[in-house]
């Protein structure tokens, strides 16, 4: 019998929580940052490196994998962990968000979404049941419900319609998921920027007794203040003994402020995407290696880092690689960025354990403000 899914809060500091999720494929130290592994790969990284920077779990995109190479094919080849050689936990999103942001000719009804692939125009339909089936074929450890994320700003009645549809789809996903020992299906709170709808969504999902809860419908272009206000409203309505996952977030500053409001899990393409565009995250803020000011700078990004990409290469060399569009440029900067994000999470976890989260957060923020010397 597989070890059941469990979440324990080990320490709190204000509303911030230090916890641990225990699953058959390993433990997830929270607050956790999940590197995005869109098509079964964390772009430009070997999985050993992803593990090496301290990631306990990665995110896989159902939409991309169902289109190519196909969920049934991945299942025939032993599942996503085997396919991508990542033996630790994987969370897959449901695909709904990517359908609405990437696919063509999409139509959404009570049944689900129909759409055409952005790759070859082939027609697909995705119901809540099919989304869970695909995530199970991928052998995903944490599966997300199919939902409808409303783009903001939106009319109140539109936000309400999508929130209520997402609740009905949560019930259908819970039924379709059934009882997969050692795995979890998370619900997703919707409700846009409306407090009453957020509360209704969170309370209805909490009543379903799910293993974890995501806060969706945010990081869709709204100001940070609106996102944080929605967390202030939503988190208190979710069970304190279950993980809370803020989807698609975010910058290091977003993460600090969201942990302070009770969020335990994050995913964001920023560190990986920025790495491919010549941007480095460091404890002194962001450094754009495309900038000519780095052309003769012999210093590494951060001499104190334990990541070779940050410690062993000059800015001049990184600038050269980025300007010449050498693959190694994207590789080293992605490595640096993921290492920085994991170090940030490690500092956050340690600060909560020692009840120094607020002070540590202020120190980290000052480091960014000091800017890159």
Ligand X SMILES: CNc1nc2cc3nc[nH]c(=O)c3cc2[nH]1
CA 361 from centroid of its chain's CA atoms: 21
Check binding of 167 to ligand X (CB under 6 A).
no
Check binding of 65 to ligand X (CB under 6 A).
no
Check binding of 309 to ligand X (CB under 6 A).
no
Check binding of 192 to ligand X (CB under 6 A).
no
Alpha-carbon gap, residue 271 to 281, rounded angstroms? 7
The answer to whether 371 and 285 are in contact (CB under 8 A) is: yes
Alpha-carbon gap, residue 283 to 324, rounded angstroms? 26
Upper half-sphere CA count for residue 216 (Cβ side, 13 Å)? 29
Stretch that binds ligand X, among 58-66, 119-127, 213-221, 313-321 (CB under 6 A): 213-221
Question: Exactly one of 55, 142, 149, 202 binds ligand X (CB under 6 A); which one?
Answer: 149
The answer to whether 207 and 177 are in contact (CB under 8 A) is: no
Stretch that binds ligand X, among 89-97, 198-206, 252-260, 361-369 (CB under 6 A): 89-97
The answer to whether 51 and 83 are in contact (CB under 8 A) is: no
- Residue 168 in 3-state DSSP? helix
The DSSP bridge pattern shows strands 26-30 and 16-23 to be antiparallel
Check binding of 344 to ligand X (CB under 6 A).
no
Check binding of 245 to ligand X (CB under 6 A).
no
Name the minimum Å distance from CB 217 to ligand X: 4
**By C-beta, is 98 or 305 nearer to ligand X?**
98
Neighbours of 181 (CB within 10 A): 10
Check binding of 255 to ligand X (CB under 6 A).
no
Stretch that binds ligand X, among 153-161, 210-218, 307-315, 346-354 (CB under 6 A): 210-218
Peptide bond into 350 cis (omega under 30): no
Check binding of 141 to ligand X (CB under 6 A).
no
Check binding of 219 to ligand X (CB under 6 A).
yes
Question: Exactly one of 33, 97, 281, 340 binds ligand X (CB under 6 A); which one?
Answer: 97
Among all residues, whose Cβ is closest to ligand X? 248
Instruction: Find the Cα–Cα–Cα–Cα dihedral 190, 192, 196, 200, rounded to 10°.
Output: -10
Instruction: Count residues binding ligand X (CB under 6 A).
Output: 13
Check binding of 93 to ligand X (CB under 6 A).
yes
Residue keyed to tokens 């460091």: 282
Check binding of 216 to ligand X (CB under 6 A).
yes
Alpha-carbon gap, residue 150 to 100, rounded angstroms? 10
Judged by the rule CB under 6 A, the positions of this chain that interact with ligand X are 93, 96-97, 147, 149, 188, 216-220, 247-248
């Amino acid at each position: 019998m597989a070890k059941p899914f469990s979440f324990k809060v080990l320490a709190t500091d204000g509303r911030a929580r230090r916890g641990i999720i225990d699953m058959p494929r390993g433990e997830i130290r929270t607050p956790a940052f999940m590197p995005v592994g869109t098509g079964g790969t964390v772009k430009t990284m070997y999985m050993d490196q992803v593990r090496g920077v301290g990631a306990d779990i990665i995110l896989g995109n159902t939409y991309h994998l169902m289109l190519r190479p196909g969920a049934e094919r991945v299942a025939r080849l032993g599942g996503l962990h085997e396919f991508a050689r990542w033996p630790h936990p994987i969370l897959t999103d449901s695909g709904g968000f990517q359908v609405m942001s990437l696919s063509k000719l999409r139509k959404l009804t009570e049944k689900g979404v129909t759409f055409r692939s952005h790759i070859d125009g082939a027609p697909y339909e995705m119901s809540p049941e099919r989304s869970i089936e695909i995530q199970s074929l991928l052998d995903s450890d944490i599966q997300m419900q199919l939902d409808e994320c409303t783009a903001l700003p939106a009319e109140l009645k539109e936000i309400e319609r999508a929130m209520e549809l997402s609740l009905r789809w949560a019930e259908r996903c819970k039924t379709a998921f059934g009882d997969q020992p050692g795995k979890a299906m998370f619900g997703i709170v919707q409700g846009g920027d409306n407090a009453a709808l957020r509360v209704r969504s969170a309370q209805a999902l909490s009543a379903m007794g799910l293993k974890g809860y995501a806060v969706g419908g945010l990081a869709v272009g709204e100001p940070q203040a609106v996102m944080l206000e929605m967390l202030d409203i939503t988190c208190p309505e979710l069970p304190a003994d279950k993980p809370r996952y803020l989807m698609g977030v975010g910058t290091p500053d977003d993460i600090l402020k969201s942990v302070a409001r009770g969020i335990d899990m994050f995913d964001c393409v920023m560190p990986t995407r920025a790495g491919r565009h010549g941007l480095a995250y460091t404890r002194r803020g962001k450094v754009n290696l495309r900038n000519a000011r780095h052309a003769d700078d012999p210093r590494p990004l951060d001499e104190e880092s334990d990541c070779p990409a940050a410690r062993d290469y000059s800015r001049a060399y990184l600038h050269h690689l980025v300007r010449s569009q050498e693959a190694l440029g994207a590789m080293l900067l992605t490595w640096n960025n993921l290492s920085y994000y994991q170090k940030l999470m490690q500092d956050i976890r340690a600060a909560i354990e020692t009840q120094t989260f607020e002070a540590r957060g202020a120190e980290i923020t000052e480091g960014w403000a000091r800017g890159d010397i």
